[in-house]
Amino acid sequence: MRIDPTSIFTIRDLSRARRLNRILSVLPRYHTGRRMNAKIINSLVDLVQAALPPSARQRVHLEKDEVAASDHHTIPIRLLRPRRRPQALLLHFHGGAWVVGNARLDDQWNARTVRLCNVMVAAGDFHRALDDDLERAIEDAVTLIDWALDHLASFGLDKLIVEGESSGAHLAAAALVRVAERRPIKRLAAFVSLCGAFDMGGSIRLRTSERSLLIDPQSALLNLDRLVHGPSLLDVGSPDVSPILADLSHMPPALFVAGALDPVKDDSTRMYERWHQQTGCAQLLMVPDAPHGFERLPTRVAAKTHAFVARWIERILGPA
């Protein structure tokens, strides 16, 4: 089902978003295909986080864990718990074009999800593919989903929700495809994607877009090419690399959120169509006047989108 955005956003909300878009239109775009950009951003983030204590999270308790990955490195995990008994575990995959970001950067986002949905949120520091090793990032995502499924009982829970933003949505979906091939995923209650990218070959819209807000489309296409031609040469026609080609018939209900101005919005539309066709349980919210990553902008549209996602999760989980 396609969700009518007028049932969520007012004319005033969208007018304010357009005003911000006019400012964004004169600012430089982020070139995701340039690794030096990512290295500088990650270094600055690491320095700031080392100097500052974690931000306060009212009514949310932070714990830390880790899981051993297949090549013997460990993946740090941040666990954010509500004060009362949670209804489910939500495993969040951060965005960042596969190369930037970390779990701590999403503490505020995840803490808000904890409070709105009464879930425990886990976020892992999976491999950032500055070395173009996308396969290692996907394998880390597989490890995190296995960890989440294996630990549900120890948390006193029986439902898992998987959520991803942008490249994080790709890693989550690709990992789910691989996990579902070798173990039951009946405890997976829902999948949530925000501005997800699911076609590693690049959609037609991405290939033909010349201008966009926040990200440079042609550099984003170069980034995809670098990732699939990295240390492990990957086949963009393989479902566990481009999950938009996968058998999704065994997947849970899903919500796809995308921005109408996003050059990769076709990935969300096509993934929604395939998911809905195969399961009958998918919804798509196409947000007007919204660029890639709009959910992180300081707008009413972003705030209402997060609130809508929270209500959708609440409906999936049912009464407490």
* pLDDT tens readout for residues 219-244: 999 999 999 999 989 999 999 999 99
For 132, residues 6+ apart whose C-beta sits below 8 A from its C-beta are 226, 227, 229, 230, 231
Which of 172-181, 203-212, 305-314 has the weakest average pLDDT? 203-212
For the full predicted model, state whether its pTM sits above 0.85.
Answer: yes
- Mean pLDDT in residue range 14-43: 94
- Sign of the C-alpha dihedral, residues 142, 129, 172, 320? positive
Average pLDDT value for residue range 125-146:
97
pLDDT at 320: 67
DSSP secondary structure, 129-151, as one string: -TTS-HHHHHHHHHHHHHHHHHH
pLDDT at 57 over 80: no
Q: What is the CATH number for 249?
A: 3.40.50.1820
Detail the DSSP E strand segments found in 34-159: 60-68, 74-82, 89-93, 120-124
- Between helix 11-24 and helix 300-317 the angle, nearest 10°, is 120
CA–CA separation, 320 and 318 (whole Å): 7
The domain total for the chain is 1
Q: Which residues contact 243 (CB under 8 A, 6 or more apart)?
A: 170, 173, 174, 176, 177, 198, 271
**144, 175 Cβ separation under 8 angstroms:** yes
Question: Range of 128's domain?
Answer: 2-317
Span 302-312, average pLDDT: 97
Between 55-59, 212-216, 295-299, 304-308, the lowest mean confidence (pLDDT) is in 55-59
Residue 58 confidence class, pLDDT cut points 50, 70, 90: low
The predicted pLDDT at position 72 comes to 79
Cα distance between residue 250 and residue 259, in whole Å: 27
Residue 56 has pLDDT above 60, yes or no: no
What is the per-residue pLDDT across 253-302, written as a single tens digit (0 to 9) for each? Answer: 999 999 999 999 999 999 999 999 999 999 999 999 999 999 999 999 99
Residue 307 has pLDDT above 70, yes or no: yes
pLDDT of residue 232: 86
Mean pLDDT of 57-64: 82
